[in-house]
């Protein structure tokens, strides 16, 4: 993580043609996947390359801060994984999902891909008819059972997430693909309603996949959704600014 962060900072200062300051003069706010794991978070702090101050939180929380400009609100962020989070008016925060692949991260790219693979397995061995989705998955992963099994044996979260676009591409001609997207929309609704059951706070569905799933949300949730004010990067700036006060 630190290598990626330092390389990104170096590139940013270079692109902006600004001389990079001494790390000992800098504070940095970071939204990182896995920051809710205290062991990983503490080790990350211990490996500080020299920053004067570091504030680390989850990427879900920085997404939340960015989406609502630091104010109370709700987000459901959907990409390779998924998480829902609320910042209440009391300052209390709560999150749902985000349990990780394969048991959690409902509605995510990996979640969709895993289910597309399962349908394809049934088509390959004759438990269901071939469909546009199963054919697309076979063309991507392997047309024979042996080839598909080899792909499955090496596939992890990111690999399954690469199947998600095939679900969207097949939805118009494949009822099962459409059902997967609708189920994903329902999972997003469950997250949002759990976090804000009275629908009192502004809501933003975030992430490229989350935005792609907006048409498949229940109408009641679709009408509540509003575009995020800023992204996770802006949220990280809010995070460090709040801690420098």
176 contacts 119 by C-beta, under 8 angstroms = yes
Distance between CA atoms of residues 189 and 183, nearest Å: 10
The candidate with the shortest Cα–Cα distance to 167, out of 127, 124, 108, 217, is 108
Spatial separation of the C-alpha atoms in residues 31 and 33, rounded to whole Å: 7
Query: Which of these, 30, 29, 9, lies nearest to 21 by C-alpha position?
Result: 9
* CA separation for the pair 69, 232 (Å, rounded): 10
**Residue 98, pLDDT score:** 82
pLDDT tens, residue by residue, 118-162: 999 999 988 999 999 999 999 999 889 999 999 999 999 999 999
pLDDT in tens, the chain (245 residues): 999 999 999 999 999 999 989 999 999 999 998 888 899 999 999 999 999 999 999 999 999 999 999 999 999 999 989 999 999 999 999 999 888 888 889 999 999 999 999 999 999 988 999 999 999 999 999 889 999 999 999 999 999 999 999 999 999 999 999 999 999 999 999 999 999 999 999 999 999 999 999 999 999 999 999 999 999 999 999 999 988 86
| Confidence at residue 107, expressed as pLDDT on a 0 to 100 scale | 95
């Amino acid at each position: 993580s630190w290598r990626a962060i330092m390389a990104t900072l170096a590139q940013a200062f270079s692109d902006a043609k600004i001389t990079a300051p001494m790390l000992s003069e800098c504070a940095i706010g970071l939204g990182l996947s896995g920051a809710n794991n205290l062991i990983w978070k503490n080790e990350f702090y211990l490996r500080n390359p020299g920053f004067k101050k570091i504030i680390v939180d989850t990427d879900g929380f920085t997404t939340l801060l960015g989406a609502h400009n630091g104010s109370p609100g709700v987000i459901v962020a959907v990409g390779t994984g998924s998480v829902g989070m609320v910042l209440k008016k009391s300052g209390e925060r709560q999150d749902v999902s985000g349990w990780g692949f394969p048991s959690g991260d409902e509605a995510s790219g990996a979640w969709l891909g895993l289910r597309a693979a399962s349908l394809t397995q049934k088509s390959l061995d004759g438990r269901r008819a071939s469909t546009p989705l199963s054919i697309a998955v076979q063309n991507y992963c392997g047309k024979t059972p042996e080839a598909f099994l080899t792909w499955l044996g090496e596939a992890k979260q990111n690999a399954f997430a690469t199947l998600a676009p095939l679900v969207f591409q097949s939805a118009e001609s494949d009822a099962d693909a459409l059902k997967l997207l609708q189920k994903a929309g329902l999972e997003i609704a469950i997250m949002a309603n759990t976090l804000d059951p009275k629908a009192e706070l502004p809501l933003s569905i975030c992430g490229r996949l989350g935005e792609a799933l907006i048409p498949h949300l229940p109408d009641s949730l679709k009408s509540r959704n509003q575009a995020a004010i800023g992204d996770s990067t802006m949220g990280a700036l809010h995070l460090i600014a709040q801690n420098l006060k």
